[in-house]
C-alpha cells in the first residue's frame, strides 16, 4: 500500500492532475482504507485531494488550514499561487461561469433522472456524466465582444487565455474555448456558484443567454 500511495502522491504533485479512470485514481475513489491513507499522506504536507463526482480528473490543492501561511493575511492576501494577474483571475471566473455552471445544471438533471430507482455501487469510479458530452465551448470572438472592455482588451485577453491554457484550466480548439482538466476542480462550486448567480455577473450571463436564445 505504501508504494501505491507514494506513486499516486508523486504523480498528483508532478503532473498536477490525473484522469479519473487511472487505476490508482479509481482505487482512491472506491477503496475506503486506501483513500483514508491517501488523505493522511497529503495532509502531512498541507494538501487535500480535489475531486468531485462531475469531474473527469483528480488533483491536489492546499488545505484550508494552510492557506493563510501560503497566501498571507489581510491586505497581503494573494488570490492565487500561479502568478495570475487580477484580470486573468477575473477571466478565469467568467469562463468557469460560462462553461461549468451550465454543464453542472445538465449533469445534475441527468444524474437525477438516471439514478431514479437505481443503485450503482461502483458509481464513484466515474464522473456522473462525461465532461465533453455536456460541456459547451465558448467562441473566442463572442468572449472578446462581451468582455474585452472590462478585461483589458482583446490583446490582453488573448495573453491571459494563453496562460490559462498552459496551466490546464482551459483548452483552445479552433477559436473555441473548452474546459481543461482543472477548471472544474480548482474553483469551489459550492462557494462560487451562489456568488455568481446572485451577483452582477449573473445578470451579465443571463443577458448573454437571452441574446443567444433570441438569435436562435
pLDDT of 3 > 80? The answer is: yes
Which residues contact residue 108 at a Cβ distance below 8 angstroms, ignoring those fewer than 6 apart?
none
Question: Residues 61, 156: one domain?
Answer: no
pLDDT of 130 > 70? The answer is: no
Sign of CA pseudo-dihedral 93, 95, 98, 103: negative
How many structural domains comprise the chain?
A: 2
Question: Residues 128, 53: one domain?
Answer: no
pLDDT of 132 > 50? The answer is: no
Spatial distance between the Cα atoms of 167 and 125, rounded to a whole number of angstroms: 25
Asked whether residue 41 is assigned to any structural domain, the reply reads yes
Asked whether residue 76 is assigned to any structural domain, the reply reads no
pLDDT of 179 > 90? The answer is: yes
Question: Residues 64, 92: one domain?
Answer: no
Q: Considering 71, 102, 131, which residue would you say is the last residue of a domain?
A: 71
Which residues contact residue 66 at a Cβ distance below 8 angstroms, ignoring those fewer than 6 apart?
46
What pLDDT is recorded for position 79? Answer: 78
Spatial distance between the Cα atoms of 141 and 144, rounded to a whole number of angstroms: 5
191 or 73, which is more confident: 191
The pTM of this model reads 0.79
Question: Residues 92, 54: one domain?
Answer: no
Question: Residues 104, 140: one domain?
Answer: yes
What pLDDT is recorded for position 74? Answer: 66
The chain-wide mean pLDDT, for the chain, equals 84
pLDDT of 49 > 80? The answer is: yes
Question: Residues 101, 198: one domain?
Answer: yes
Asked whether residue 62 is assigned to any structural domain, the reply reads yes
The region of weakest confidence among 75-79, 85-89, 121-125, 203-207 is 121-125
pLDDT of 153 > 70? The answer is: yes
What pLDDT is recorded for position 131? Answer: 44
pLDDT of 44 > 70? The answer is: yes
**Mean pLDDT of the region 64-83:** 81
Asked whether residue 61 is assigned to any structural domain, the reply reads yes
pLDDT of 216 > 70? The answer is: no
User: SS3 sequence, the chain?
Assistant: CHHHHHHHHHHHHHHCEEECCCHHHHHHHHCHHHHHHHHHHHHCCCEEEECCCCCCEEEEEECCCCHHHHHCCHHHCCCCCCCCCHHHHHHHHHHHHHHHHHHHHHHHHHHHHHCCCCCCCCHHHCCCCCHHHHCCCEEHHHHHHHHCCCCCHHHHHHHHHHHHHHHCCEEEECCEEEECCCHHHHCCHHHHHHHHHHCHHHHHHHHHHHHHHHHC
Asked whether residue 80 is assigned to any structural domain, the reply reads no
CA nearest 192: which of 109, 124, 90? Answer: 90
pLDDT of 51 > 60? The answer is: yes
Asked whether residue 81 is assigned to any structural domain, the reply reads no
What pLDDT is recorded for position 112? Answer: 73
Q: Give the domain range for residue 53.
A: 2-71
Question: Residues 147, 170: one domain?
Answer: yes
What pLDDT is recorded for position 106? Answer: 81
The percent of residues above 70 in pLDDT, for the chain, comes to 78
Amino acid at each position: 500500500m505504501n508504494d501505491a500511495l507514494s506513486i499516486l502522491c508523486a504523480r498528483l504533485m508532478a503532473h498536477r492532475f490525473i484522469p479519473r479512470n487511472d487505476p490508482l485514481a479509481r482505487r482512491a475513489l472506491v477503496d475506503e482504507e486506501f483513500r483514508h491513507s491517501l488523505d493522511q499522506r497529503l495532509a502531512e504536507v498541507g494538501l487535500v485531494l480535489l475531486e468531485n463526482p462531475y469531474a473527469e480528473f483528480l488533483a491536489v490543492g492546499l488545505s484550508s488550514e494552510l492557506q493563510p501561511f501560503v497566501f498571507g493575511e489581510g491586505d497581503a492576501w494573494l488570490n492565487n499561487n500561479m502568478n495570475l494577474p487580477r484580470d486573468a483571475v477575473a477571466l478565469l471566473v467568467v469562463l468557469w461561469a460560462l462553461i461549468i455552471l451550465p454543464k453542472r445544471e445538465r449533469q445534475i438533471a441527468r444524474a437525477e433522472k438516471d439514478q431514479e430507482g437505481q443503485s450503482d455501487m461502483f458509481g464513484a469510479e466515474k464522473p456522473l456524466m462525461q465532461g465533453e458530452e455536456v460541456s459547451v465551448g465558448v467562441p473566442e470572438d463572442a468572449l472578446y465582444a462581451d468582455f474585452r472592455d472590462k478585461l483589458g482588451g482583446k490583446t490582453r485577453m488573448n495573453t491571459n487565455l494563453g496562460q490559462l491554457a498552459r496551466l490546464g484550466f482551459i483548452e483552445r480548439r479552433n477559436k473555441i474555448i473548452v474546459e481543461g482538466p482543472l477548471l472544474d476542480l480548482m474553483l469551489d462550486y459550492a462557494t462560487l456558484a451562489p456568488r455568481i448567480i446572485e451577483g452582477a455577473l449573473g445578470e451579465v450571463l443571463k443577458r448573454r443567454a437571452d441574446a443567444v436564445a433570441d438569435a436562435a
